Structure 1
């Protein structure tokens, strides 16, 4: 069972588009992406905590998904495109390896 948490997430989705246009979406989340390999100031390993998956839904359908691994830097940034089909909400969800889910959304008006 995952929990939804507030996190600093920035998403860029065009406010408007014409039906059939290919639009660019961008998403970034503030997350340390700690690999579990670094030692803290006290000499103890910093526990692993990374974003493992990002999904994006539009019109109720998953339109993009990505899996992340420890080699991804802190504050992961993703950019992708989709075809504007209808007005609605574009939802983003990041899940980390603790099961926490971070969400953000944006509206797009299609004419």
Structure 2
């Protein structure tokens, strides 16, 4: 169902991480056009990024984030070849995780 695509690149001392996450991100407020019923809420609540098992980013989201969210951020301390792991957890308890190596 869901997928995370990650790209991490090193430029000088900063590592730029870009993530594209496949997720429906339903707010719970949209009505189904065929039935008129509300579509149940289903959205990512937390995104955690780790570098060498150390958390470098935690994002707490809600239903206000768009479908298939894109996240980009920078941090210092990475090196080419180091592993970056991104994990999300949604309001239904589902999780997804993916890793990539920093490119120099």
| TM-score with structure 1 setting the length | 0.82
How far apart, CA to CA, are the structure 2 residues paired with 1:68 and 1:103?
Answer: 16
Partner of 1:105: 99
**How many Å separate the matches in 2 of 1:23 and 1:109?**
9
* Structure 1, unaligned runs of 5 or more: 1-5
* Superposition misfits of 4+ residues, deviation over 2 angstroms: 84-88
Q: Hey, what does 1:79 align to over in structure 2?
A: 72
> Of residues 89, 98, 101 in structure 2, which corresponds to 1:95?
89
CA RMSD of aligned residues (A): 1.9
C-alpha distance in 2 between matches for 1:54 and 1:74: 15
Alignment map for 1:6-17 (pairs within 5 Å): 7-14=2-9, 17=10
- List per-residue Cα deviations over 1:12-60 (Å, max 9, x = no partner): 112xx48x71121111101110011111121111110000110000011
> What TM-score, normalized by structure 2, do the two folds share?
0.87
- 1:39 corresponding residue in structure 2: 31
Instruction: Determine which of 61, 64, 79 is the counterpart of 1:68.
Output: 61
Corresponding pairs, count = 102
Structure 2's unaligned 5+ residue stretches are none
